[in-house]
Amino acid sequence: MAGSQTPIVGVLALQGDFREHIAVLQSLGADARAIRRPEELALVGGLVIPGGESSVMDKLSRMFGLADPLKDAIRAGLPVYGTCAGLIMLADRVLDAIAGQQSLGGFDISVRRNAFGSQRDSFETDLSIPVLGDPPVNAVFIRAPVVERVGESVVALATLEDGRVVAVEQGNLLGTSFHPEMTGDTRFHEYFLDRVRGVR
């Protein structure tokens, strides 16, 4: 919780690469827990929503009774970090959502799913991210979304060379189009844990 030296951080574990996030958070000293039920969500001081398939996460979150508690927690100021599909889940507007797909919202952004094409169009690139310092972050994009519009209160943390926004923050929310849990660079998770501790 805020101010704790051992922050309790949940990772939404309905679908996707939640195990990788749990491993990174545990390596950084956090008490990282898989979250599948509302009562588990109530115990954490921060939450990571991992990559995966956003439409499946949406359906499962509603099926497990988590969607409304997640929305309430976001509105109440719970620090939440969404990567790839997790970023889509946090967006207020999903420009190419499938029929019936809903997001949790909270981020005043418009995102486009699979903006870079299919799985075989995955790529890596180095990104300059001033809040994380040097060296550049090696970012892995897998069927990644892109942020096409940011609201006035949203800060763009990273852009591609063509200007497309791929990392954002707003209040208690942090989001990346890419997968920092896959590269061994833990700076985004450290940055998020500082928020959970109330340092940032």
DSSP 8-44: EEEEE-SSSSHHHHHHHHHHTT-EEEEE-SHHHHTT-
- Residue 71: what pLDDT? 97
Q: What is the mean pLDDT of the chain?
A: 93
* Higher-pLDDT residue of 6, 187: 187
- Residue 4: what pLDDT? 47
| 3-state DSSP helix/strand/coil % of the chain, to nearest 5 | 30, 30, 40
- Residue 76: what pLDDT? 96
- Residue 121: what pLDDT? 67
- Residue 70: what pLDDT? 97
Pairing of strands 165-170, 155-159: antiparallel
Q: Please check the confidence at residue 1 and state whether its pLDDT lies above 60.
A: no
Least confident of 55-59, 92-96, 114-118, 181-185: 114-118
Query: Domains (ranges, CATH) in the chain?
Result: 8-197 (3.40.50.880)
Q: For 118-141, what is the mean pLDDT?
A: 89
Annotated catalytic residue within 20, 21, 53, 84: 84
Annotation says 179 is catalytic? yes
End-to-end Cα spacing for the chain: 14
- Residue 120: what pLDDT? 67
Annotation says 189 is catalytic? no
* High-pLDDT (> 90) share of the chain, %: 85
Annotated catalytic residue within 21, 169, 179, 189: 179
* High-pLDDT (> 70) share of the chain, %: 94
Annotation says 124 is catalytic? no
Q: Please check the confidence at residue 16 and state whether its pLDDT lies above 80.
A: yes
Q: For 58-65, what is the mean pLDDT?
A: 96
